[in-house]
Amino acid sequence: MLIQGYKLELVSPACDPGTARWSAFARLEDDIRAVLPYLNAIWAGAIYGHAAGYLTWQMGSRAVSVRPRELAVSNLADKDEAEAVVAQLVETINDVWERRDEIAPRTRRRERLRALDVYRLLPGGNCKTCGEPTCFIFANKLAAGQVTVAACTLLYTDEHQGQRAQLLALLDAAA
């Protein structure tokens, strides 16, 4: 088992003291840096810094951050919920560690895909060929993973070759 034990702390965000929602910090007895590339490989949308040793991930309505000796989870109602959510997270991390031989670790940083960056590279003109009413809506859906880039057939014409290459590079960096 990778995480053998931890001490749980519950705090209200410094920027909003007295808030009804809490953040939990689990101070780990063990250094878990080695599991981060495996978590990065299987947690879709995680943001990972290999050299700095951190990983952040959106788990439903909660932001999760994993560091070598600390787990942090936001948006918790009370101590009971914090204990349950952190225990589940620890179980998940330990499970990934046990299965690491089946997972290809990923050390590459995953960039966040922003809808506005996608939008700037689309042909524009709101032609609706992709089935969306505007390029902006298409950009938002592409950034959210709800449509595929190939649906914008205009982008695949010679005229937009340069934009297409840039957009595919953006998508690759976010994959």
Residue 127 binds ligand SF4 (CB under 6 A): yes
Q: Single out the residue of 35, 113, 152, 167 in contact with ligand SF4 (rule: CB under 6 A).
A: 152
For residue 73, what are its two tokens? 């989870």
What is the nearest approach in angstroms of ligand SF4 to the Cβ of residue 54? 35
Stretch that binds ligand SF4, among 9-17, 64-72, 109-117, 127-135 (CB under 6 A): 127-135
Stretch that binds ligand SF4, among 37-45, 75-83, 87-95, 117-125 (CB under 6 A): 117-125
Q: Return the bridge partners of 65, or none.
A: 56, 72
Q: How far is CA 143 from CA 113, 130, 149, in A?
A: 6, 15, 10
Q: Single out the residue of 64, 90, 138, 143 in contact with ligand SF4 (rule: CB under 6 A).
A: 138
Residue 125 binds ligand SF4 (CB under 6 A): yes
What is the rounded distance in angstroms from the CA atom of residue 47 to the CA atom of residue 38? 13
Q: Where are the alpha helices (DSSP H) in the chain?
A: 36-42, 79-98, 115-120, 135-143, 161-174
